Amino acid sequence: MTNLVESPPVPARLLDVQESADLVFFSSASENTRRFVERLDRPAVRIPLRPRVEGAICVARPFVLVVPTYGGGERSGAVPKQVIGFLNEPANRGLLRGVIAAGNTNFGASYCLAGPVISAKCHVPELYRFELLGTDRDVAHVSEGLARFWAAQARLATA
């Protein structure tokens, strides 16, 4: 009989400023969030689906987080475990400036629940909500909103 030994987790990868982006996202195997982010046509960094295998990431610049809602309508489990792990890293949490949530209206009051949960815990604004893959209108609103948001952040930094 062979003893199976679990491999140690891959160490976190520290992204430099050039590798980092002002948009960080998590997408499950369904890839809905990834497809939405790609339609924004701006640099983005993905939180690994399997951080113990792929390695966690540590970003180097302020960012907005795009996150799907999990949990099937329950508050506990609304934020994906990978996102919790990413935000539990103080350096990542300290650079979070806002959150955009994806969800499914079939879950009623729990629609996009990950957004307000992260917003409240990390003291950042929830900037937008969209359903599943988002519409062309959602993409336009988020693109324009991010441009305004980062312009305002730049003004605050120089004030």
* 22 Cβ contact list (under 8 Å, min separation 6): 42, 43, 61, 62, 63, 64, 146, 150
Distance CA 107, CA 72 (A): 7
Domain boundaries, the chain: 13-146
* Residue pLDDT, tens place only, 68-93: 998 765 566 899 999 999 999 999 99
* Placement of tokens 């982010």 in the chain: 37
pLDDT attached to residue 143: 97
pLDDT attached to residue 73: 57
**CB atoms near residue 106 (< 10 Å):** 11
pLDDT attached to residue 60: 93
The answer to whether the beta carbons of residues 33 and 25 sit under 8 Å apart is yes
Q: Which CATH architecture has domain 13-146?
A: 3-Layer(aba) Sandwich (3.40)
Residue 126 scores a pLDDT above 90:
yes
The answer to whether the beta carbons of residues 96 and 121 sit under 8 Å apart is no
Handedness of CA 141, 32, 10, 117 (dihedral sign): positive
pLDDT attached to residue 74: 59
Mean pLDDT calculated for residue range 35-54: 93
Closest CA to 28 of 53, 51, 48, 57: 48
The answer to whether the beta carbons of residues 106 and 72 sit under 8 Å apart is no
CA 136 to chain CA centroid, nearest Å: 20
Q: How confident is the model at residue 53 (pLDDT cuts 50, 70, 90)?
A: confident
Can you give the pTM of this predicted structure?
0.89
pLDDT attached to residue 65: 98
